[in-house]
């Protein structure tokens, strides 16, 4: 099985793909796939930057055991995307020590099949590259990927499979935490749709601002992206809060919760030797 690891600032997602769904070598003849095709299991844990390689191995081994899988016999390949530099080396050590595999780590020098038209391509986060690769694969042509994570990231891909750039704004939970931390009279609320846009209580007012405010922010940026590239583009939502916010967005066309893992699988396929 292929183990795809997406390390975010707040949460880390593990995805397991069946070996039969991995297409090693020349990907140009690979059949069209869905984002969740071959994804047999997924796990989500809190990102803890000082967790050791052994602790990661123990935790993941326990998660596999809950599914009746053995770590050594089950994992044949590993691909890692990480936005937390100190954990990149930790996970590399975990893979080397416990899984005896040579991991593909998204970063400079890794084949992605996509031209990165950033002023400094090394600045583009690994998760943003994976999202762009996965988004274009599922929806060939101009596309915008909105990832609702710790930060809300927007990534624009041209119809010629070029990564054009995008935008980064504080994520919903980050913004809400800052509000509660700095406004003594306000308390945490559940992120659900209020009765109306005009809140009739402090709780509803916060919910209205969070849900409709971030939805309008996403819509506004997507309209500006489309205007700048001069083309209609498919807007794809992903990330932990994508299912919550996207239903209130007019510009989002489709929600792909496993888009990042799908992109990681595709990049893995481009960087492993062909089966012989």
Residues forming the active site:
127
Answer whether 55's CB lies under 8 Å from 62's CB.
Answer: no
Answer whether 38's CB lies under 8 Å from 30's CB.
Answer: no
Integer Cα distance of 198 and 175 in angstroms: 20
Query: In 3D, which of 122, 238, 248 has the Cα closest to residue 196?
Result: 248
In angstroms, what CA-CA distances link 234 with 76, 138, 143, 257? 34, 10, 5, 16
Cα-based angle 68, 69, 71 (whole degrees, multiple of 5):
150
The DSSP 8-state label assigned to residue 167 in this structure reads E
Helix (H) or strand (E) holding 260: helix 259-271
């Amino acid at each position: 099985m292929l183990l795809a690891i997406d390390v975010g600032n707040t949460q880390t997602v593990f995805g397991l793909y069946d070996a039969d769904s991995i297409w090693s070598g020349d990907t140009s003849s690979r059949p069209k796939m869905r984002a969740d095709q071959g994804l047999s299991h997924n796990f989500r844990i809190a990102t803890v930057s000082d967790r050791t390689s052994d602790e990661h191995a123990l935790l993941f081994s326990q998660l596999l055991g809950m599914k009746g899988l053995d770590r050594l016999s089950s994992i044949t390949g590993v691909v890692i995307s990480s936005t937390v530099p100190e954990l990149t080396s930790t996970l590399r050590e975990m893979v080397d020590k416990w899984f005896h595999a040579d991991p593909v780590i998204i970063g400079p020098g890794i084949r992605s099949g996509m031209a990165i038209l950033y002023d400094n391509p090394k600045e583009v986060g690994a998760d943003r590259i994976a999202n762009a690769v996965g988004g274009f694969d599922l929806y060939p042509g101009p596309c915008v990927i909105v990832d609702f994570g710790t930060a809300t990231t927007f990534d624009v891909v041209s119809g010629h499979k070029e990564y054009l750039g995008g935008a980064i704004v504080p994520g919903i939970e980050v913004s809400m935490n800052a509000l509660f931390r700095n406004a003594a009279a306000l308390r945490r609320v559940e992120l659900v749709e209020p009765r109306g846009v005009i809140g009739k209580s402090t709780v509803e007012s916060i919910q209205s601002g969070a849900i409709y405010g971030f939805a309008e922010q996403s819509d506004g940026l997507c309209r500006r992206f489309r205007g700048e590239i001069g083309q209609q583009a498919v807007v794809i939502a992903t990330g932990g809060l994508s299912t919550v916010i996207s239903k209130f967005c007019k510009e989002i066309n489709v929600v792909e919760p496993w888009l990042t893992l799908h992109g990681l699988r595709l990049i893995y396929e481009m960087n492993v030797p062909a089966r012989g």
